[in-house]
Amino acid sequence: MKILVISSNSIFLDWVHKFNHKSIQYDINWPLIKKGLFILTLKPRIKILSYFYDAIFCDWFGSLSKITMDASSKPVFIRLHRQEAHTYKKFKSINYKKIKAIVTVSNYYKSIVEEKTNNKVKIVTIQNGLNLNDFPFNPKINRPMKICTLSYLTYRKRIFDLIVNNPNLKIDIGGDGEEKYSLQNIIKRFNSKAKIYGRVELPKFYHDHDIFISNSSDESFGVSTIEAMSCGLIPLCFSWGGIEEILPEWHTYETYEELNQKLDVISNMTEEEITEIKLQMRQIVESKFTIELQAEKFQDLFNGVMIDGPCSHIG
């Protein structure tokens, strides 16, 4: 079975390579004019390309997926992440007859999409997976224990809020984004012990730490959380919708008081207890969130047939 994969962001497409390592990927970091011309010529290209494939998979629900649905003569699969699920207008313009299935990355978002589509189309959950070779387990324990977070620095991640409400929390912040300078400013003003590292080298950044905090208000799927878990970090995450699909309840919190209580509990554990938790977190990733398992689920979705032809990325 030959699948044409269309995406405006290839960051979550590692599973494709498990089907065929000869896939083609286009650079998406184009100037605006070039990108505009690409989108304008996409419809006729899809009309032609669809003759050579059995189905089309469109990652991200937006303008590219709408063009794909209009142009394709073959069944279309669409994956929907976080932001698209909250954009109700797009659901009104879908031609559901063209869609074979919508893929969500969590059961939490599956329930949201089911409600918004009124069950007009098949919806399945396929959670993201990691290449465990890229995020090897490291049981090293620091004393005192080192805490980190890693994300795109935007308001939804609530790192500003975490710093303001916990100025004595010594946390290393990895990542870049529009809130970077605001965070640097607030760290100085509050004399916070937090430190911003900007873009960091992975998995080294994870391996230098013991505890990973995610204070985000909402996630489609906590990729950085499972990366940290794979590397042996102990996660503590704000209780956003769907987090229970990743973590045991003890590793979530609803208030900063609860967060700090759990940090104290972990810091007072013996090395044997800490190592055991690190192993448990790695085992969760190994059993539920590998790239191999993700690829198998997509294979089942595409009628359980291994793709035997070239798999192209139009990025």
**Average pLDDT of 266-282?**
97
* pLDDT tens-digit readout, 143-162: 999 999 999 999 999 999 99
Q: Residue 173: what pLDDT?
A: 98
Question: Which pair of structure tokens corresponds to residue 124?
Answer: 């399945």
Question: pLDDT of 85-94, one tens digit each?
Answer: 887 676 777 7
CB atoms within 10 A of CB 72: 21
Calculate what percentage of the chain has a pLDDT beyond 70.
90
- R_g of the chain computed on alpha carbons: 21
8 Å CB contact between 102 and 113: yes
Tokens of 130: 């990691």
Q: Write the Ramachandran bin of 106: left for phi over 0, alpha for psi from -120 to 50, otherwise beta.
A: beta
Structural tokens at position 152:
């795109």
Mean pLDDT of the chain: 88
Structure tokens given for 150 = 């890693």
Q: How far out from the chain centre does Cα 35 lie?
A: 24
Q: What is the pLDDT of residue 97?
A: 83
DSSP code of 188?
H
Range scoring the smallest mean pLDDT among 22-36, 53-67, 95-109 = 22-36
pLDDT at 308 over 60: no
What the chain holds in terms of domains, given with CATH numbers, is 3-128+291-314 (3.40.50.2000), 147-288 (3.40.50.2000)
Which whole number is the average pLDDT over 204-226?
Answer: 96
Which H or E run includes 174? strand 171-174
What would the two tokens of residue 139 be?
A: 């049981």
Q: What would the mean pLDDT of 88-107 be, rounded to a whole number?
A: 83
Against a cut of 0.85, is the pTM above it?
A: yes
Of 52, 50, 53, residue with least CA distance to 42: 50
Could you read off the pLDDT of 62-76 as tens digits, one per residue? 777 888 888 888 889
Q: How many helices (H) and strands (E) does the chain have?
A: 12, 12
